[in-house]
Structure 1
């Protein structure tokens, strides 16, 4: 089949992708010496995406060995790992999980010297953030938690005290936690979480054991493939108005200290997508109890010999008979199916958010982003950082209301801030009577 000239040009732009598609391992190995392994084709797929979707195991290992990124997404919003879960080959999923964690560590280690340098330049301080969670469903709002987080900064050390241990889906866990970042220590010893009630601590490790990797693979193979993101493509900021007849720009004094201009944010869309073509009816019936057990740290399902029972690979999806020209010549994002038929559900919800911006707050947005980067292992702080990293109006966001779940909005108020000469050194040390428990927080 001959192609129009424009399509022939498109085909020639992606030699790595074509090698993967036709399974030419030798040529792929040669091309990887001179071609960029991160390039995406017109559908947003990397060569690794295609290798995973087509089950090209040798190509997958070659691409990973040459640093193919695992976290990238195609036009549909799916990563190579998501496609690997759909395909169902356990060895491939394990390889991608290992590489994903390695790439995350490498990125963090590259960023770390700049982060430490920036933290050292910021004057020491104490800050309080109040979190209030509420919902448009009245009965849900009544039971949602609130929390006052205390943040101490001294040199390149940061401590966060919180009573909200975790907030995932519509479940949360209360406690008395301290998260300590010691920037002056080696990478593997810099992050620690204290459970002040149980008097135990856990080092946040950057490398997982073989069993932990395989446990994670079991969870991925047994769960829905999920993707959620806050779309800001159509976002706009407008001054909030007050008054009945004579409207004027709304102003507010937050925490009795910070004179602020109030903005309404429109165009925020929370998009949630779910796939489950890799799960059988039997899987769906069993999985809820299994995953809840894993979440509590009970990861071991043992056989009679005391060995963990691992989830087996699925049978490969049927061959689709799609050739390279058909794939690359289709409209962007509308290529023929290469793997299993998707079992797919997508939901989206539009949100309005509000924002109070003040010129009186003594910390800058850039300084706050560096502090939030340190405490990002707490999921709700990661969402706050993602929001504040947007291009905001002038000032500092002393009060923010943002959606964090389809039914739940968080209101975050910076209710106290003071620069200090220094914070007590012992705040950033593990108390002598605390005992190490490496499994206290399974998600860290």
Structure 2
């Protein structure tokens, strides 16, 4: 038991007031003296996490008013928003969702000067990034999407062209879009989303000085429909666990004559590495779902679904796949504050909040890298800031960023293959640096380099404008301007990125399932395959790189 005079009210004053559900006393404590609002209790929860898990709405409101961090995870790896969803409290979900988006907006805007400085220091370049999805499951790879991202970087200006926009209405969305990020002299930035199909430009100026707290909070007010979509969909998280990752050079040749393997990738000789002990962990919570929503998430199975079910059986526990389920069928025994706040007291299988229904799927993968030590691009100085910016609103680039931030062997990753989903890998290949392989009309070599022949590439901007030297290559500055004849619209739409990993999984899954009718001839039996969690009807996946109010971190 806790020693006299050292009770939870003295060691964890904010947590204790939250436990007692005393919002007025909590606000008085926060306003009267400096307290540690992010202090962790013995169970790994901040005061905001505790208030959310207990469903104490007014205490959560007070803590958010004083700036409690919504984006922190508790000891079990769940965010405040995910815990709010588990309570099935619509008002609490709306409150947390609003402040999460507000805090992401503030952090994003505060990070603009740092990003501009990184872009300014990095050498300018043009590069193409080819994304391909592959799978060990037969017949799957050919129906997975692919895309070519074209990237121009000049000074504090960046442009990205793409055709894979996202997932909506049960199909992959294609279009011709450009996303432009242009730094200003006053450490602000202009972001433009150019819709070439509709000839419309959505523009937004990013500057922290022009926004106060109330203005930003008003701009990110979630609707009841958005909050309800959370309560009618399972909570799912997917993460790459790389703490035990190991890199090893691939070998080639026959036994006794084996040598370290190298391959030519777009004209560059690259060493081939394998990355082992990469675990993909998917966790799904469903305790907040009503019975009709649980049954809907299981739904009917297409022939392809059944086929994938058998395919999953083939990787079984012996091949690194492990599925565990945790169910609490009854309410936990009442926990006293003395028990909860005593770090030496074992709660066993008891806990606060709604009884958890959790399914965890763990599968080991082997990633692959092709590294070139003589490549002109620098990963840390040139490419990493671009990937950071893209990762704001793109789930694919977020996963790529997580991987390249590891301590990789020396060299530039001209090609990377990493797991995205338990049956899918993403293969990213860098090529056509500065238009050296295939000429690009908007880019030409500097006078001290061999200039490529002119090109009539329709996807590039016309070279009618004057070229500006970009230290190694010259770029048409019209790339970063509003195209002539396009309509400019201020961006007032909610561009907050949702839980992009959930939506990416849903998009991939539906992309596979919608092709199920093509494979009716595959006799696969009727084994049930647990599908990934799906957002409620009306939810849509994030666009490839739309301006977003998420953190740069």
Distance 2:57 2:157 in 1: 44
Partner SS state of residue 197, structure 2: coil
1:136-151 map, 5 Å: 136-151=136-151
String of CA shifts for 1:237-266, please: whole Å, max 9, x gaps: 111111221222222222122x22221101
Instruction: Give 1:387's aligned residue.
Output: 403
- Contact 1:328–1:335 (CA under 8 A) maintained in structure 2: no
Q: Whole-Å Cα distance in 2 between the matches of residues 357 and 153 of structure 1?
A: 22
Question: For 1:94, what is the secondary structure of its paired residue?
Answer: helix
TM-score between the two structures when normalised by the length of structure 1: 0.83
Question: Partner residue of 2:369?
Answer: 355
Pick closer, same or farther for the CA change 1:334–1:136 going to 2, 3 Å: farther
Q: Secondary structure at the match of 2:432?
A: strand
Q: Deviations over 1:367-415 (max 9, x none)?
A: 2111112222222122211211111111211111001122110111112
Whether 1:427 and 2:515 are equivalent positions in the alignment is no
Instruction: Decide whether aligned partners of structure 1 residues 321 and 70 sit closer, same or farther in structure 2, where only a CA change above 3 A counts.
Output: same
The alignment covers a number of residue pairs equal to: 413
Return closer, same or farther for 1:440/1:25 CA change in 2, 3 Å cut-off.
closer
Q: What corresponds to 1:198 in structure 2?
A: 198
Aligned twin of 2:90: 90
Out of 7, 13, 16, the residue aligned to residue 15 of structure 1 is 13
Aligned to 2:336: 323
> Does structure 2 retain, via aligned residues, the 8 Å contact 1:235–1:266?
yes
TM-score for the superposition, normalised by structure 2: 0.68
Q: Given that residues 97 and 222 in structure 2 are in contact (C-alpha distance below 8 angstroms), is that contact kept between their aligned partners in structure 1?
A: no
2:264 is the counterpart of 1:253:
yes
Are the equivalent residues in 2 in contact too, given 1:163–1:177 (CA < 8 A)?
yes
Residue 375 (structure 1) aligned with residue 390 (structure 2) = yes
- Check whether the contact 1:166–1:378 (CA below 8 A) recurs between aligned residues: no
Q: Which runs of 5+ in 1 are unaligned?
A: 290-316
The aligned residue for residue 307 of structure 1 is: none
Match of 1:179 in 2: 179
C-alpha separation in 1, matches of 2:187 and 2:143: 39
Alignment of 1:19-98 (within 5 A): 19-32=17-30, 33-98=33-98
Give, in whole Å, the separation in 1 of the partners of 2:353 and 2:140. Answer: 40
Cα pair distance change 1:393/1:47, threshold 3 Å: same
For residue 238 of structure 1, give the secondary structure of its aligned residue in structure 2.
strand
Residue equivalent to 1:268: 278
RMSD (Å), alpha carbons: 3.2
The alignment status of 1:243 with 2:256, answered yes or no, reads no
Distance 2:74 2:494 in 1: 36
Q: Distance in 1 between matches of 2:182 and 2:347?
A: 45
Q: Residues 278 and 323 from structure 1, CA distance in 2 versus in 1: closer, same or farther, beyond 3 angstroms?
A: same
- For 1:144 and 1:285, the matched residues in 2 are separated by 27
Q: Would the alpha carbon gap of residues 196 and 267 (structure 1) be closer, same or farther in structure 2, given more than 3 Å must change?
A: same
Provide the C-alpha distance between the structure 1 equivalents of 2:178 and 2:278, rounded to a whole number of angstroms: 32
Q: For structure 2, which runs of at least 5 residues remain unmatched after alignment?
A: 207-215, 300-329, 435-470, 496-539, 547-553
1:185 positional shift? 7.9
Instruction: Find the aligned partners of 2:3 and 2:247 in 1 and give their Cα distance.
Output: 45
1:408 to 2:424 alignment = yes
| Match in the other structure for 2:156 | 156
Cα distance change of structure 1 residues 281 and 62 upon mapping to structure 2, 3 Å threshold: same
Change (3 A) 1:332 1:11: farther
**Cα offset for 1:12?**
5.7
Change (3 A) 1:188 1:336: farther
